[in-house]
Amino acid sequence: MNPMLTPPRESTVVLLPGDYQDKHDALVREVDDLEMKARSDKRFKAKALKAAEAVDAFHDPANIPGAVVVKLREVSSRRVRQLQDECPPRKGVTRDEVYGYDEDAFHRALILACLVSPELTPAEFEEWASEAPERHWVKVRDAALKVVGEGESIPKSSAVSVLLASRVEE
């Protein structure tokens, strides 16, 4: 084995059913609020810890009926570039033309390439991608981009990377 190669990064995402996601988000806000209060008033510390434990329970999918655990594994940079090449930019879509590939098709291909579980056929994946709530799509897409080392879409050329970085700084 090549000593320069390290094990691939992995990520696990828990997709919560609608009501549970809403409860989770409310609990996270409550924990944040209580932690702020606990900084100036120690009486809130116990309440903050209890609320944090409730949030932790949401991270155990066994506690939530209908939760789906998605596991992703990093693919090589060569595979990422190959996926980009397989998704030519759409004409008239400025973002695609800047990035050099069809961003929507690339995200789908990247997720499918990184997906470890659940095991889905391409047709099953497309069905999920078409019907998934937007929050689930964004959560899985962002995790796939992160697992390959990017926080957002990946331009095909370094010149585009510099251009996009300069736009962010402006």
Mean pLDDT calculated for residue range 109-123: 92
Angstrom distance (rounded) from CA 12 to CA 118 = 11
pLDDT of residue 142: 93
For residue 166, the surrounding DSSP H or E stretch is helix 158-169
Strand 68-73 versus strand 10-15 pairing type: antiparallel
Q: What is the pLDDT of residues 120-149, one digit of tens each?
A: 988 999 998 888 889 899 999 999 999 888
| Among 19-33, 79-93, 153-167, the least confident range | 153-167
pTM to 2 decimal places: 0.71
Q: Which two tokens stand for residue 23?
A: 């409860």
pLDDT tens for 56-109 read 777 777 778 888 889 999 998 889 989 999 999 988 888 888 888 898 999 999
